C-alpha cells in the first residue's frame, strides 16, 4: 500500500523558515520521483519542486527557486522541503506526491502525480 505522510507545517512570519517532511512507503525511488505540490486558497494544486534519483536531479518552480531546497534521506524514506524567506503568497496546503520518474520534469502539472499524502498547512502571516 502506497503511503505518504507530510508534517512540519505551521504558522510563520514573513521572512521565516519551515522544514516540511514527507515519509513515504509502498513504492521506491527506482520507479518514482517525489515532488511537493502546493494548493493556495482558492487555487488549483501546482507542483513547486521535485527530486529524482536520475543523477539526483532536482527541479524548482521559479516562484520558489533560491528560497526552497528539496532533499532526500533514503535511509529514512523521507523527503524534505526546506523553506526559507517565506512570503505570504507561499501560504497553502503542501502535499508530497509520487510521479513516474520519466515524467519528473512535468512536476508543475499536479495531474501528473499518481498519488499524494493528506497535506500539511503552511500559513505565512504577520
Closest CA to 2 of 112, 110, 109, 77: 77
Kindly list the distances between the CA atom of residue 103 and the CA atoms of 21, 86, 115, in Å, as whole numbers in the listed order. Answer: 22, 28, 14
The pLDDT assigned to 6 comes to 98
CB 96 within 8 A of CB 36: yes
The pLDDT assigned to 56 comes to 79
Q: State how far the Cα of 94 lies from the Cα of 9, in Å rounded to an integer.
A: 8
Q: State how far the Cα of 105 lies from the Cα of 88, in Å rounded to an integer.
A: 27
At which residue does the C-alpha cell 533560491 appear?
66
The pLDDT assigned to 74 comes to 86
Residue length, the chain? Answer: 126
- For each of the chain's 126 residues, which pLDDT tens digit applies? 999 999 999 999 999 999 999 999 998 878 999 999 999 999 999 999 999 976 679 999 999 999 999 999 988 999 999 999 999 999 999 999 999 999 999 999 999 999 999 999 999 999
The pLDDT assigned to 7 comes to 98
Amino acid at each position: 500500500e502506497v503511503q505518504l505522510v507530510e508534517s512540519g507545517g505551521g504558522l510563520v512570519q514573513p521572512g521565516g523558515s519551515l522544514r516540511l517532511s514527507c515519509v513515504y512507503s509502498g513504492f521506491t525511488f527506482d520507479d518514482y520521483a517525489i515532488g511537493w505540490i502546493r494548493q493556495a486558497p482558492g487555487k488549483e494544486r501546482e507542483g513547486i519542486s521535485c527530486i529524482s534519483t536520475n543523477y539526483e536531479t532536482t527541479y524548482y518552480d521559479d516562484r520558489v527557486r533560491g528560497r526552497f531546497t528539496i532533499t532526500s534521506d533514503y535511509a529514512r524514506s523521507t523527503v524534505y522541503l526546506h523553506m526559507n524567506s517565506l512570503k505570504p503568497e507561499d501560504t497553502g496546503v503542501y502535499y508530497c506526491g509520487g510521479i513516474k520518474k520519466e515524467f519528473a520534469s512535468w512536476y508543475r502539472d499536479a495531474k501528473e502525480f499518481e498519488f499524494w499524502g493528506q497535506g500539511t498547512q503552511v500559513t505565512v502571516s504577520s
